[in-house]
Amino acid sequence: MVRQFILLHVSVGKVESEENNKESVICMFRIICLLIGYVFGMFQTSYIIGKINGIDIREHGSKNAGFTNTNRVLGMKMGAIVFVLDIMKAVAAFYAATFVYNRFFVIDFFSFFGMHSYNEPIPYFMYAGGTIFTSSHILPGLYAGIGAILGHCFPILLKFKGGKGVACTLGLIFMLDWRIALISFAIGLVAVAITRFISVASLLISLSVPILLFVFGNPAAVHDFPAPGMTVYFYSSMEGVWVTAALCVFIWFLHRENIRRLLSGTENKFSFTRRTV
């Protein structure tokens, strides 16, 4: 009886230890994805464009290092360049994290734990994807995109004084799911057309993403493992919904001054007209 109890205790302890190892490894990869994204986000395009034009964009207009302020201060052309490059930061971060995950982490995960049974659901998708990838799993790219937003808003090289991450968020949304991107972008365009407030569009877009991600779901995916006769089955997770909900709260927090100005009627309306520097 004592021997059976010891064997059972050792077996349970081994299972718990393996589960803890899995959680630790995947938690570490979340951090890695955030760091990958942060590196891309630190490329502060509005600041660079401002310096090329002989100014520090953070000292003019709304003093925000983003495309809206660049458009106001330096004109539509410069604002458009910043807008596109800021979107591409999140796209590049999403792609980089997804590539690293699919290319290295999958193989390391299976070899690390020595798993031999591939016909049971695994708590996390092994293959990452999104709009332009074959899989529906978005978490590596999602965390990298959020890292890019954090790098854009709080760039260490500029003493953590950056933009509000709107364009980066748009790039991330496109990479998550093209359906969500189309709907949320349409919401933003309608909001700008009606109110002429970029801030209103930003707030509504960020709010729509977790809602749409929940509505469309993060469907289960089945993919062939890169070995003959092996198939890995995955099931969906609500993690993406909760993460994008947290991102929404973050975006709204960054726009708290805009919200105050909207409520007081002093918010600046969007205009294609360049202001004098």
Pair of tokens at residue 80: 């458009």
Nearest CA-CA partner of 69 in 163, 140, 145, 136: 163
Q: In a 3-state reduction of DSSP, which class is residue 122?
A: strand
Say how many residues make up the chain: 277
Which of 24-38, 128-142, 170-184, 218-232 has maximum average pLDDT? 170-184
Structural contact between residues 252 and 203, judged by C-beta atoms closer than 8 angstroms:
yes
- The residue ranking higher by pLDDT, 9 or 66, is 66
Residue 267 pLDDT class (50, 70, 90 cuts): confident
Pair of tokens at residue 271: 């205009």
CA 149 to chain centre: 7
Structural contact between residues 104 and 57, judged by C-beta atoms closer than 8 angstroms:
no
Which of 104-108, 189-193, 215-219 has maximum average pLDDT? 189-193
Structural contact between residues 192 and 201, judged by C-beta atoms closer than 8 angstroms:
yes
Which of 26-30, 101-105, 193-197, 238-242 has maximum average pLDDT? 193-197
Pair of tokens at residue 227: 């070995």
- The residue ranking higher by pLDDT, 50 or 231, is 50
Q: What is the pTM of this model?
A: 0.76
- The average pLDDT across 169-187 equals 90
Give the integer Cα–Cα distance in Å for 277 and 110.
57
Q: Say what the alpha-carbon torsion angle 56, 62, 64, 70 is, to the nearest 10 degrees.
A: -70
Nearest CA-CA partner of 251 in 105, 156, 145, 159: 145
Give the integer Cα–Cα distance in Å for 155 and 37.
12
Which of 50-54, 89-93, 117-121, 179-183 has maximum average pLDDT? 89-93
pLDDT above 90 (res 249): yes
Give the integer Cα–Cα distance in Å for 131 and 182.
12
